Every structure is written in structure tokens, then in C-alpha cells.
Amino acid sequence: MQIGMVGLGKMGANMAERLRRGGHDVVGYDHNTEVSDVASLKELVERLEAPRTVWVMIPAGRPTQQVIDELGRLLDAGDLVVDGGNSHYVDDQKHAAELADKGVGFVDCGVSGGVWGLENGYALMCGGEKADVDRLMPIFETLKPEGEDGFVHAGDVGAGHFAKMVHNGIEYGMMQAFAEGWELLEASDIVKDVKGSFSSWRTGTVIRSWLLDLLVRALDDDEHLDELRGYAEDSGEGRWTVQAAVDHAVPLPVITAALFARFASRQEDPPAMKVVAALRNQFGGHPIAATEGSLGKGADAPGADVRPPREAS
């Protein structure tokens, strides 16, 4: 099958290569001319035979919107666009409506697999009309891992990215649980082999997983993670998952806490903890860590002996 691939970064380039290995004709376009097969989106569309299929694999938001807008001007009725980036499901519905005005189909596809997908295959979660998804099945069959699992037509337009969004939210929670367990083991006086403890869980336990395998791999390279800062970004899906939970009145305490933990990782001196420290000093006289050049209040310092309010009689 012939397909155009827009965006040849780490994910897009590997997906294009996996498709080529599977016998598909891939025409790739990227701003980086060293990896691009064509000089422009216009040339990419001209290289494809009708009815055309174009897979967009670029960052969500404005970049995707700009490409969708341009493809809407270049493509013809009967052509098909796939958004395989991490777009918000609400944007999918907007893009589908815009392209439908020209008779161009739209499928959203959440893709998971990272840098390992070239060899292992990609988990694919799709949303869109059945006829459009069926037309893409040769592509999906090549990209996904071998076996029955690894692909789902999750529902209507937006359902694929909604499912991927929830997947990434779950990933946040699992990663945070591993992180907290690692920190507790490292803090223990009696556990002498933290890395070995994690490695022992890879067989025969209910928490064995690919994430656990990857953590052990990271500890093999840096046993106590001394070379890393405790700083973690979030790519957007975690925020969208929490917002969707609010919209649907679904409690997500674990995923929400994991997202907020990432926010906390970016603060060298968390402002909220200043209030906690101040209050502990006020009601219990607990010492506080003073900033440089100032005097911290100990148990006997002013403010430490403030009495609680008397109950109203």
C-alpha cells in the first residue's frame, strides 16, 4: 500500500522504516531535508496516487493544525488523513469536520511503542468511520506487534486519542508507584541491594511489566540514579486525562497525584512547603530551615508559643 508520512522524527522515521520493511511504498516529508523524500507537502501529495493516504506524525496543537489546514487545501475527495501524533481528542473532532467539508476522511490513531516500536511493533488505538479504518488495515497490520493484540478500533473520531490519553494517564500512575517504591527502598537502612530487589520482581510477581524491565535497565546503567536530577516534564496527556476526569465526574486520585508529583519535581524550593513548615513551627514549635542570612525559629523562638483559640462558651 502507498502512504505519505509527514514527520520523520524518532517515531515517524521508525514507523516509515517498519512499513517499508513490510513492503509498503512510503513517501516521507520532514522539515529536515536530509531525511525527507520530497521538498514540500505539495510535492508529497503529487507523488501519491489517488485515493491518497497521508499519515501525520508531528507534535500536537498548532503544528498539527497547520498541516491539517494545508492538507485540506491539497487533497481531494476520497483521500484520507491519519493523525498519529498525541493530539487532544477534541481537536480530532474539529479536524474531521474540517476535512469532511472536502470529502476527505479522517482517522485518529494513538500510537504507543516509543523507540522500541521499529523492532517490537506499535500498539495502535484508532477512532473513525469503519470504512476508513478498514481501508487502513494493511498499514495497521504491519505497524502493530505480531499476534492478536496491539490494535483496537476504539470507536468514533477522537476515541483513539482518548484511549491513548487514558493509557498515558495509567502510565503516569505506574511510573509514580515504581518511583516511590524505589525511594523508600533507597532510604532503608536494612535493604542493601535495591537494584537486585527490583530485578527479582521481574519474574513470578504481579507487578512484573515492561516498565519494571526498563527501570532495571536504567539502574544497570546508574545504580543509584546519581547522574539524574529529580525533574520530570509532562507531555500533555496527563493533564488532559485529569481534565477529562473532571468533565465526566470520574475520580482519578492516583493519576492526578502522579501528575502533580511531576509539577513538584520542577520546584527546587516548593512554595507550598514553606507554609507547611511555618504552620508546624507555629502550632508545635518545630524548627524550620532558615534561608541564608536569616534566623530560623526554634521551639523557644517568638511565634512558637501561640496558643490555640479558646472554644466559644
Distances in Å between the Cα of 47 and the Cα atoms of 102, 229, 230, 306 are 20, 46, 47, 78
pLDDT digits (tens, 9 = 90+) for 163-199: 999 999 999 999 999 999 999 999 999 999 999 999 9
Amino acid at residue number 23? G
Q: Are 86 and 237 spatial neighbours (Cβ–Cβ below 8 Å)?
A: yes
Closest CA to 14 of 62, 2, 26: 26
The pLDDT-based confidence of 305 (bands split at 50, 70, 90) is: very low
The pLDDT-based confidence of 294 (bands split at 50, 70, 90) is: low
Q: Is the pLDDT of residue 302 over 70?
A: no
The predicted pLDDT at position 293 comes to 59
Q: Are 111 and 87 spatial neighbours (Cβ–Cβ below 8 Å)?
A: no
pLDDT digits (tens, 9 = 90+) for 53-100: 999 999 999 999 999 999 999 999 999 999 999 999 999 999 999 999
What is the C-alpha to C-alpha distance for residues 211 and 167, in angstroms, rounded to an integer? 13
Q: What integer best gives the mean pLDDT of the chain?
A: 90
Amino acid at residue number 136? L
The predicted pLDDT at position 312 comes to 45
Q: Is the pLDDT of residue 310 over 60?
A: no
Closest CA to 161 of 125, 121, 122, 117: 125
Which residues are CB-contacts of 36 (< 8 A; sequence separation ≥ 6)? Answer: 8, 28, 29, 30
According to the 3-state scheme, what is the secondary structure of 171-237?
Answer: HHHHHHHHHHHHHHHHHCCCCCCHHHHHHHCCCCCCCCCHHHHHHHHHHHHCCCCCCCCCCCCCCCH
The pLDDT-based confidence of 249 (bands split at 50, 70, 90) is: very high
- The catalytic site residues sit at 164, 171
Residues in the chain: 313
The pLDDT-based confidence of 291 (bands split at 50, 70, 90) is: low
Mean pLDDT of 284-304: 58
